[in-house]
Amino acid sequence: MPPKQLFSLKSENIPRATIQRLALYVQVLEDLDRQGNEVISSELLAKACSVNPSQIRKDLAYFGEFGVRGVGYYIKDLISAIKQSLGIDHVWKTVLVGVGNLGRALLNHAEFRLRGFDIIAAFDCDPFKIGEQVSGLEVLCTKRLKEKVHELDVNLGIITTPPERAQRAANHLVEANIHGILNFAPARITVPDYVFVEYVDFFHHLYSLAFHITLSKER
Amino acid sequence: MPPKQLFSLKSENIPRATIQRLALYVQVLEDLDRQGNEVISSELLAKACSVNPSQIRKDLAYFGEFGVRGVGYYIKDLISAIKQSLGIDHVWKTVLVGVGNLGRALLNHAEFRLRGFDIIAAFDCDPFKIGEQVSGLEVLCTKRLKEKVHELDVNLGIITTPPERAQRAANHLVEANIHGILNFAPARITVPDYVFVEYVDFFHHLYSLAFHITLSKER
């Protein structure tokens, strides 16, 4: 069954919490696909995602065409359908600001391109880094960000600066008319309402682990 | 006012959603403290955290002693109190498995130690990496993980392997009796119920940005 039908799917009807889970399902389905699986039951998919089966069935009701009673879901078709509805069925051109250790690691991270996020330019304000080649890209002066974003038709920005430079990096991205920012710097940034920001905060997660372990030992 | 009183705080009464926000408040408060601030009003703290003021006041009611009507909160005291209740008022000894680009970046990331998570050993199964020095640590063979964890009294594990090796890394950590795992590998892992796992998944966040931008353009 071709995913063409999905053009009629009204993505705006999908609740925000479902979106988060759909992103997880895509990841798990892609792993299953790479391992050579063709079909998966909702029970097994639920288990692999640590979500309960009724939740999965409800979430995937938006993609009802891809479920076959007694068989399960066709993995490749389901991936295409979810990706299309999430807007990740095409490449997102991405720039990175802050070529420190973490920035370098992300530039060398093969999964970005594999998953449809192509980092096509890297910026830093450190004169010792400008001109350096990292993972096939020449590090550019942050002052050239706006010019480059327009030239290359970039959609997303990643911030990997130290916390005290995150806001300045965000300002550059906003001025360049970027509408989505993934911020790895451990600092909050302020942007206009029309710009979406997601935070990747390791410490949030570490604090949560520390808290739950502390609590479980107290009990 | 000394944070000593907080010993009586019953952390187990704090709801899980509050914990997530407390971790955020600590981060924002630490930034404010570094910038030389001593006191902050709940309105300004709410704004800095992008949370509404009534939510902040409710969350911080657990730390009521640190609020002063008409003044706000004493930043340093509030940080200590929250950290104590989250179990992050002492150093958490941490090991890292998977010394690739991302693993190296984390080993060189100064914020971990600053925020109380000290990465004291690094492991990899690649014979070409074993013995190498990274950020002052000798990379050890993953087979030695259990022995080292016991010797060094480690509390937490970080996984930065490729996705297909994440489960094996998790098994090593569980066998070594580690109860908290931060997983950066884009793969789900299965662990016993008593082990807490947090996932740092960049792609989740990127998918979410892509979806929201796509949706905002459709409108």
Higher pLDDT pick, A10 / B84: B84
* Amino acid letter for position A107: L
Task: Kindly tell me if the per-residue pLDDT of B66 is higher than 80.
Answer: no
The pLDDT value given to residue A66: 67
* Torsion sign, CA atoms A47, A50, A55, A60: negative
| Other C-beta atoms lying within 10 Å of the C-beta of residue B16 | 9
DSSP run (H or E) holding A141: strand A137-141
Confidence band (pLDDT; 50, 70, 90) for A68?
Answer: confident
User: Which pLDDT tens digit goes with each residue over A31-43?
Assistant: 889 889 999 988 8
Rounded average pLDDT over A95-105: 95
Where does the pLDDT of residue B219 fall: very low under 50, low under 70, confident under 90, or very high at 90 and above?
low
Token output for B86: 């989250």
| Best residue in B6, B206, B215 for a mutation probing chain A (most A CBs within 10 Å) | B206
Is B156's CB within 8 Å of A209's CB?
yes
Residues in chain A within 8 Å Cβ distance of B205: 182, 198-200
Q: How far apart are CA A129 and CA A138, in angstroms?
A: 9
More confident call, B71 vs B108: B108
Q: Rounded to a whole number, what is the distance in Å from the CA of A134 to chain B's nearest CA?
A: 12
A7 contact B CB<8A: no
- Report how far residue A109's alpha carbon sits from residue B22's, in angstroms, rounded to the nearest whole number: 31
Could you say which DSSP state residue B144 is in?
A: G
Quick: pLDDT tens for A146-163.
999 999 999 999 999 998
Is B183 annotated as ligand-binding? Answer: no
Q: Best-predicted range by mean pLDDT among A199-208, B76-85, B109-118, B147-156?
A: B147-156
B182 touching A, CB under 8 A? yes
Q: What was the pLDDT predicted at A12?
A: 56
Q: What angle do CA B123, B129, B132 make, to 5 degrees?
A: 90
Shortest alpha-carbon distance between residue B70 and chain A (Å): 26
b (16+ CB within 10 A) / e for B48-75:
bbebeeeebeebbebbebbbeeeebbbb
Q: Provide the sign of the torsion angle of the four alpha carbons B8, B182, A195, A122, taken in this order.
A: positive
* Mean of pLDDT over chain B: 87
Q: Cα dihedral angle (A65, A69, A75, A77), rounded to 10 degrees?
A: -20
- Taking contacts as CB-CB distances below 8 angstroms, the residues of chain B near A36 are none
pLDDT score for A62:
75
**pLDDT tens for each residue of A122-146:** 999 999 999 999 999 999 999 999 9
C-alpha dihedral, A85 to A86 to A87 to A89, nearest 10°: -80
Task: Tell me: pLDDT of A4 over 60.
Answer: no
Which of A129-162 are b and which e, b meaning 16 or more Cβ less than 10 Å from the residue's Cβ? bbeeebeebebbebeebbebbeeeebbbbbbbbe
Report CB contact under 8 Å: B49, A210: no
User: DSSP of A70-138, one letter per residue?
Assistant: TTEEEHHHHHHHHHHHHT-SSPEEEEEE--SHHHHHHHT-THHHHTTEEEEEEEES-TTTTT-EETTEE
Is A100 annotated among the ligand-binding residues?
yes
Residue A196 parent element (H or E)? strand A196-199
Q: Does A11 touch chain B (CB under 8 A)?
A: yes
Chain A within 8 Å of B180 (Cβ-Cβ)? yes
Picking from B111, B113, B202, B217 by the largest number of A CB atoms within 10 A of its own CB, the best residue to mutate is B202
- Report which secondary-structure segment, H or E, holds B150: helix B145-152
Q: How far out from the chain centre does Cα A103 lie? A: 16
Sequence-distant (≥ 6) Cβ neighbours of residue B103 within 8 angstroms: B96, B97, B122, B124, B134, B160
**Chain B nearest CA to A1, separation (Å):** 24
Q: Which of A86, A187, A214 sits opposite B31 (nearest CB)?
A: A187
**pLDDT tens, residue by residue, B134-162:** 999 999 999 999 999 999 999 999 999 99
Among B residues 147-166, those touching chain A with beta carbons less than 8 Å apart: 155-156, 163
Give pLDDT, residue B126: 96
pLDDT of res. B2: 37
Three-state SS for B192? coil
Does A101 belong to an annotated binding site? yes
Domains of chain A: 3-86 (1.10.10.10), 92-204 (3.40.50.720)
Residue A8 pLDDT > 60: no
Chain A interface includes B179 (CB < 8 A): yes
Q: Cβ of B203 under 8 Å from any chain A Cβ?
A: yes
Strands B117-124 and B137-141: parallel
- CA-to-CA distance for A92 and B84, rounded, in angstroms? 42
The predicted pLDDT at position B71 comes to 82
Is B86 close to A207, i.e. CB distance below 8 A? yes
- C-alpha to C-alpha distance for B81 and A38, rounded to whole angstroms: 52
**B35–A contact, CB cutoff 8 A:** no
The tokens of A186 are what? 């451990």
- Range picked from A42-51, B39-48, B56-65, B131-140 for highest mean pLDDT: B131-140
> Cβ B198–A180 below 8 Å, yes or no?
no
Written as one string, the DSSP assignment of B6-75 is GGG--GGGS-HHHHHHHHHHHHHHHHHHHTT--EE-HHHHHHHHTS-HHHHHHHGGGGGGGEETTTEEEH
Contact residues, chain A, for B213 at CB < 8 Å? 87, 155-156, 179-180, 196
Six token digits for residue B210: 């892509």
Q: ipTM of the assembly?
A: 0.83
pLDDT band (50, 70, 90) for residue A170 = very high
pLDDT of residue A71: 81
Cβ neighbour number for residue A183 with a 10 Å cutoff: 27
Residue B11: the pLDDT is 54
Average pLDDT over residues B36-64: 86
**pLDDT for residue B4 is more than 80:** no
| Chain B nearest-CA residue for A86 | B211
Residue A168: closest CA among A157, A152, A155, A153: A157
- Annotated binding residue B99: yes
Mean pLDDT of chain A: 87
Instruction: Tell me which residue of B218, B17, B188 sits closest to A14, measured CA to CA.
Output: B218
- What is the reported pLDDT for A19? 79
Residue A68 annotated as part of some ligand binding site: no
CB < 8 Å to A101, chain B = 104-105, 108-109
